[in-house]
């Protein structure tokens, strides 16, 4: 299977050129994040890629002290020249399948010079450089609202098979939409499925 670099269409013509990639990470125990606080970033550095699926899971470990809503936003950003450096942990993407059918070196890891990602430890992450997100154009994952939020919330974004197309120095940012209230703590799980044409 191959990927057309012009329109990112998967074509069943050459099994040895398409690359499937997964970026997956789990935050630490996150609490007290302000509205618009960033929790996850994924920067595409090299080849054009398509994000075919985004999955988010939130697991509450300590209940919030008062009723509130909780939601996360997913943005495509441009001018993404530096990934986050403070407040979290770096993530290395892995190949779901590589540009060759044979085995992959280094446990199938995608070089950090191709794709670089970062996820929160206990609060918002900072240090990235990208063009400011457009507040009117997010995907929103609404976890819930009220005195008792779900113990585990899970959702994915792939309703129609379309995708985010990422050129070099573009990427995905996940941010908190509503300020987290008193005492609530939880972990955020983020997973992206991408495909691209290899070298």
Q: Where are the domains of the chain?
A: 23-91+102-190
pLDDT at 71 over 70: yes
For residue 14, which of 96, 94, 95, 101 has the smallest C-alpha distance? 101
Provide, rounded to the nearest whole percent, the portion of the chain with pLDDT above 70: 81
pLDDT at 159 over 50: yes
Across 28-45, average pLDDT: 97
d(CA 195, CA 163): 10
pLDDT at 155 over 60: yes
Whole-number pLDDT of residue 59:
92
Question: Maximum Cα–Cα distance for the chain, whole Å?
Answer: 56
Whole-number pLDDT of residue 6:
54
pLDDT at 198 over 50: yes
Could you tell me which residue, 2 or 183, shows the higher pLDDT? 183
Task: Kindly report the average pLDDT of the chain as a whole number.
Answer: 84
Which SS3 state, helix, strand or coil, does residue 190 take?
strand
Q: What is the DSSP letter of 133?
A: P
Across 117-129, average pLDDT: 98
- Residue 128 in tokens: 């990235």
pLDDT at 101 over 50: no
d(CA 26, CA 121): 9
For residue 28, which of 4, 55, 61 has the smallest C-alpha distance? 61
- The model's pTM: 0.86
Across 129-157, average pLDDT: 79
Whole-number pLDDT of residue 13:
47
d(CA 57, CA 187): 8
Provide, rounded to the nearest whole percent, the portion of the chain with pLDDT above 90: 52
Q: How confident is the model at residue 1 (pLDDT cuts 50, 70, 90)?
A: very low
For residue 95, which of 84, 87, 103, 86 has the smallest C-alpha distance? 103
| C-beta of residue 54 within 8 angstroms of C-beta of residue 156 | yes
């Amino acid at each position: 299977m191959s990927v057309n670099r012009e329109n990112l269409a998967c074509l069943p013509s050459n099994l040895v050129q398409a690359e499937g990639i997964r970026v997956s990470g789990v935050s630490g125990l996150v609490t007290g994040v302000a509205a618009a606080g960033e929790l996850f970033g994924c920067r595409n550095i090299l080849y054009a890629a398509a994000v075919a699926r985004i999955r988010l899971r939130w697991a509450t470990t300590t209940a919030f002290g008062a009723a509130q809503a909780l939601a996360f936003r997913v943005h495509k950003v441009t001018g993404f020249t530096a990934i986050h450096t403070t407040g979290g942990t770096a993530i290395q993407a892995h190949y779901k399948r590589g540009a060759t059918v044979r085995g992959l070196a280094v446990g199938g890891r995608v070089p950090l010079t191709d794709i670089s990602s970062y996820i929160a430890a206990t609060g918002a992450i900072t240090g990235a450089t990208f063009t400011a997100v457009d507040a009117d154009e997010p995907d929103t994952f609404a976890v819930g609202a009220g005195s008792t939020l779900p113990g585990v919330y899970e959702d994915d974004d792939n309703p129609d098979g379309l995708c985010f197309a990422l050129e070099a120095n573009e990427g995905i940012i996940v941010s908190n939409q509503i300020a987290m209230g008193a005492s609530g703590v939880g972990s955020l799980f983020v997973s992206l499925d991408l495909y691209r044409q290899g070298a």
